[in-house]
């Protein structure tokens, strides 16, 4: 068997500068978006108010950044591509209070080691600019150029000299999506700066400079999200929070449109994202996430931005007060606005009507007519006065045995009876926690499976805290001796067994406390009026009155809307009275 040659010797060598630069570049320059990020941050640190970005083949072929910042003198331009050269630091202690976004010398040196670069720059002290061409990290050409104050950088053939990195780049679509996110983040963090992005000569975004964050929010997220945006402002313990988040009516299936910034630097932090969503306090449906922009200002010494080479991840000296302030500030902001979902008119597609639907529609109309007759008989005593959270309403009927129709001023209001009553029940569950339940005249036996028996035994302390009295009765049976005082529905064994079935879906939890909210939501859900139940006029009035007494009547325990409205203007559009 031939002897295998050793891949390395035991000798330690000093690597040459070109290899060192390429290794260092790998820590900062992962893909074209990394180049865009570093160059935009340099432009922002240079005081630019107008930044133009052009890329070809998603940045793989070329990346051009043009800014109107302060520019560089010929001497500074010569130093800008040297390793460990920077205008941001003078000594090690400066790292503790660093507020700039990048290290121009570090970024340019890393980029030049993996791509060809052409840079032109002029400061306001010189009448002419200087252009340099770099190949393999070395200047091969220098010439004077006429230009305005600012800097233009063109990066060509990224990673052509590092095929191992080039091989791991994704498709143009994926790589450009990363670039788009980088530009969007910087545009949100700097609403006073104009940004224009072009990809293969196609204009992708064009945001004019504005001092108003609301304008930039509109540019990025669109009119519908901007209309639902709520201002967030808060201070405490040297921290300051501001930004915009959308009402629960505007959510996304992922958290990609929730942007977080710490000292103007975009960060990725599950803890901060969770803190924002905790501020919605049950107003979000499971699996839905808000749209928003949150800016956190914190003393630089209290945060470490260097835990990751790209500075995307962040570490706080003390996270708890930061998260607490974010949650309370978002909660307070959302608590100060109305959350009734507003329906907007969209022309419906013509479709064939099924015979069964015609029959159902006629039955529904008959029901509505009878309810209108009932309303006329009862008169104005059925109107509910406005409260701090809901406008005055007057129920006029029920459709599909699921939705309550009411009039509020000139608006039409539709209420999901189950969702609304579930929210009422949830607040009662929370209010009556740790109070004795309502004793049943006859104990209710529950025959359960072995797994259900174990789960009831596991969650029994929480269930009894919320008003149940449950005792084991043999190996497969429990006796329910009391139920929560507010819920006559849970006196029914069938309803309680439905609750037990959903407990089984929860499974066991290491900490009972971690399941408190889930248990409360389940009890509220199974205590509430169901869809399909016929309600009398008095029952509808009672439910709407109870909604007016809540702090948050807008969503059910699962985050679904309880109430929507159609304005008079929207009704007129639907009936073609107005354009």
From 166, 191, 207, give the residue that closes a domain: 207
> Is residue 12 included in any domain, yes or no?
no
- Residue 351 pLDDT more than 90? no
From 175, 207, 239, give the residue that closes a domain: 207
Q: Classify residue 137 by burial, with Cβ atoms within 10 Å: 0-12, 13-18, 19+.
A: buried
pLDDT in tens, 247-305: 888 888 788 889 999 988 898 888 999 999 999 877 887 778 899 999 999 988 787 66
Distance of CA 475 to the CA centre of its chain: 47
Distance CA 119, CA 66 (A): 10
One domain for residues 100 and 144 = yes
- Residue 13 pLDDT more than 80? no
Region for 375 from its dihedrals, namely left if φ exceeds 0, alpha if ψ lies in -120 to 50, beta otherwise = alpha
Distance CA 97, CA 400 (A): 63
> Is residue 129 included in any domain, yes or no?
yes
pLDDT in tens, 403-427: 999 988 888 899 999 988 888 888 8
One domain for residues 223 and 203 = no
> Is residue 9 included in any domain, yes or no?
no
List Cβ<8 Å contacts ≥24 apart for 51-54. Answer: 51/193, 51/194, 51/195, 51/196, 52/196, 52/198, 53/179, 53/183, 53/195, 53/196, 53/197, 53/198, 54/197, 54/198, 54/199
CATH of the domain at 533: 3.30.1540.20
Cβ atoms within 10 A of the Cβ of 28, count? 21
One domain for residues 187 and 88 = yes
One domain for residues 291 and 371 = no
8 A C-beta contact, residue 27 and residue 170: no
pLDDT in tens, 42-72: 999 899 999 999 999 999 999 999 999 999 9
One domain for residues 327 and 366 = no
Structure tokens at 455: 């789960």
User: Which of 145, 172, 220 shows the shortest CA–CA distance to 61?
Assistant: 172
From 289, 311, 337, give the residue that closes a domain: 337
- The mean of the pLDDT values for the chain is 79
- Residue 372 pLDDT more than 50? no
CATH of the domain at 106: 3.30.565.10
Cβ atoms within 10 A of the Cβ of 578, count? 11
One domain for residues 244 and 277 = yes
One domain for residues 198 and 241 = no
CATH of the domain at 274: 3.30.230.10
Give the dihedral of Cα atoms 171, 173, 177, 179; nearest 10 deg: 70
One domain for residues 56 and 184 = yes
pLDDT in tens, 429-486: 887 766 767 788 888 888 877 777 877 888 888 888 877 888 888 777 888 888 877 7
One domain for residues 44 and 189 = yes
Q: Classify residue 312 by burial, with Cβ atoms within 10 Å: 0-12, 13-18, 19+.
A: middle
Give the dihedral of Cα atoms 180, 183, 188, 193; nearest 10 deg: -140
Report the pLDDT averaged over residues 156-168: 87
One domain for residues 185 and 277 = no
Bridge partners, residue 197, by sequence: 53, 205
> Is residue 1 included in any domain, yes or no?
no
Domain span holding position 370? 338-346+354-579
One domain for residues 419 and 532 = yes
What pTM value is reported for the model? 0.65
> Is residue 5 included in any domain, yes or no?
no
Report the pLDDT averaged over residues 27-51: 90
> Is residue 3 included in any domain, yes or no?
no
Report the pLDDT averaged over residues 23-31: 62
> Is residue 234 included in any domain, yes or no?
yes
Domain count, the chain: 3
Q: Is 240 helix (H, G, I), strand (E, B) or coil?
A: strand
User: Which of 243, 258, 264, 299 shows the shortest CA–CA distance to 190?
Assistant: 264
Distance CA 6, CA 21 (A): 26
Lowest pLDDT segment from 174-183, 362-371, 458-467: 362-371
Q: Classify residue 166 by burial, with Cβ atoms within 10 Å: 0-12, 13-18, 19+.
A: middle
One domain for residues 373 and 321 = no
> Is residue 4 included in any domain, yes or no?
no
């Amino acid at each position: 068997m031939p002897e295998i040659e050793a891949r390395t010797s035991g000798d330690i060598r000093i690597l040459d500068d070109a290899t060192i630069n390429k290794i260092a570049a790998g820590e900062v320059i992962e893909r074209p978006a990394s180049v865009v990020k570093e160059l935009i941050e340099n432009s922002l640190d240079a005081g630019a108010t107008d930044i133009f970005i052009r890329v070809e083949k998603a940045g793989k072929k070329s990346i051009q950044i043009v800014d109107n910042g302060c520019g560089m003198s010929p001497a500074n331009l010569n130093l800008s591509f040297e390793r460990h050269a920077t205008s941001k630091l003078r000594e090690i202690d400066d790292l503790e209070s660093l507020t700039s976004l990048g290290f121009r010398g570090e970024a340019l040196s890393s980029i030049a080691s993996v791509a060809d670069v052409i840079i032109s720059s002029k400061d306001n002290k010189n009448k002419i600019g200087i252009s340099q061409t770099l190949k393999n990290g070395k200047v091969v050409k220098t010439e004077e150029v006429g230009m305005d104050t600012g800097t233009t950088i063109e990066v060509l053939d990224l990673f052509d000299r590092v095929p191992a990195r080039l091989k791991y780049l994704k498709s143009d679509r994926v790589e450009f999506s990363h670039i788009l996110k980088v530009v969007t983040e910087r545009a949100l963090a700097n609403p006073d700066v104009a940004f224009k992005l072009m990809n293969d000569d196609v204009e992708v975004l064009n945001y004019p400079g504005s001092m108003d964050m609301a304008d930039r929010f509109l540019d990025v997220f669109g009119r519908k999200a901007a209309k639902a945006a709520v201002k967030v402002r808060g201070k405490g313990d040297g921290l300051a929070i501001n930004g915009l988040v959308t009402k629960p009516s505007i959510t996304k299936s992922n958290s990609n449109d929730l942007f977080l910034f710490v000292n103007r630097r975009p960060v990725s932090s599950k803890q901060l994202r969770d803190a924002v969503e905790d501020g919605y306090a049950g107003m979000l449906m499971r699996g839905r996430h808000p749209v928003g922009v949150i800016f956190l200002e914190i003393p630089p010494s209290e945060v470490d931005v260097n835990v990751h080479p790209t500075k995307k991840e962040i570490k706080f000296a003390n996270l708890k007060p930061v998260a607490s302030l974010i949650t309370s500030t978002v909660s307070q902001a959302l608590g100060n606005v109305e959350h009734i979902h507003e329906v907007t008119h969209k022309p419906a597609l013509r479709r064939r009507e099924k015979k069964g639907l015609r029959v159902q529609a006629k039955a529904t109309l008959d029901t509505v007519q009878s309810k209108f007759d009932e309303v006329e008989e009862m008169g104005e005593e059925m109107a509910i006065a406005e409260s701090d959270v809901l406008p005055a309403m007057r129920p006029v009927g029920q459709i599909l045995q699921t939705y309550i129709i009411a009039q509020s001023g000139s608006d039409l209001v539709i209420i999901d009876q189950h969702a609304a009553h579930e929210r009422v029940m949830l607040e009662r569950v929370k209010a009556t926690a740790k109070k004795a339940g309502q004793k049943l005249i006859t104990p209710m036996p529950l025959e359960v499976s072995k797994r259900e028996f174990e789960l009831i035994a596991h969650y029994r302390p929480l269930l009894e805290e919320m008003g149940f009295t449950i005792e084991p009765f043999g190996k497969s049976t429990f006796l329910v001796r009391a139920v929560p005082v507010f819920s006559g529905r849970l006196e029914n064994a069938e309803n309680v067994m439905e609750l037990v079935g959903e407990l089984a879906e929860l499974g066991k939890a290491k900490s009972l406390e971690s399941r408190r909210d889930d248990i409360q939501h389940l009890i509220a859900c199974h205590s509430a009026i169901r869809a399909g139940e016929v309600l009398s006029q008095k029952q509808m009035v009672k439910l709407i009155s109870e909604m007016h007494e809540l702090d948050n009547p807008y969503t059910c325990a699962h985050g679904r809307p309880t109430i929507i409205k159609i304005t008079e203007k929207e009704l007129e559009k639907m009936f073609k009275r107005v354009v």
